[in-house]
Amino acid sequence: MSRQIVAQSEIRDLRIAKDTLEQMGISYREASENILSIKRSYRDIVINCHLGQVSYDNMYQAEVNRIQQTYMANFFKDRAIREGNQCQQTVNENGEIVITITH
């Protein structure tokens, strides 16, 4: 049985969220100024950047986790570049993303 989940999220930067979804090849629409909606067959995945919340059906948990993981990697890379650093992203043998930042 599926259920609606509303969870706190680190996704707060709308620009990085849009870039992340585009990078992942996920179509979305802007539901309002700070809210992105991803159309799904049962319930849409809704990302509220203003409140830092993601609402979704529990059957989309794995997809939401991938979005959040990719967003966080992009967030840290963006912050490092803004501070004048260089960054390199690799994936280790365990499938974990490793971001190396050098000054």
Find the helix or strand (DSSP H, E) in which 78 lies: helix 61-82
Percent of the chain with pLDDT over 90: 71
For residue 80, the domain's CATH number is: 3.30.310
Confidence of residue 9 (pLDDT cuts 50, 70, 90): very high
DSSP-assigned beta bridge partners for residue 30? 36
> How many whole angstroms separate alpha carbon 26 and alpha carbon 18?
9
**Residue 87 in tokens:** 């960054």
Using alpha carbons, select from 79, 10, 95 the residue that is nearest to residue 48.
10
This prediction has a pTM of 0.86
Domains of the chain: total: 1
Q: Is the pLDDT of residue 57 over 90?
A: yes
Residue 69 near residue 97, CB atoms below 8 Å: yes
Q: Is the pLDDT of residue 60 over 80?
A: yes
Residue 59: which domain range? 4-102
Spacing of C-alpha 51 from chain mean position:
14
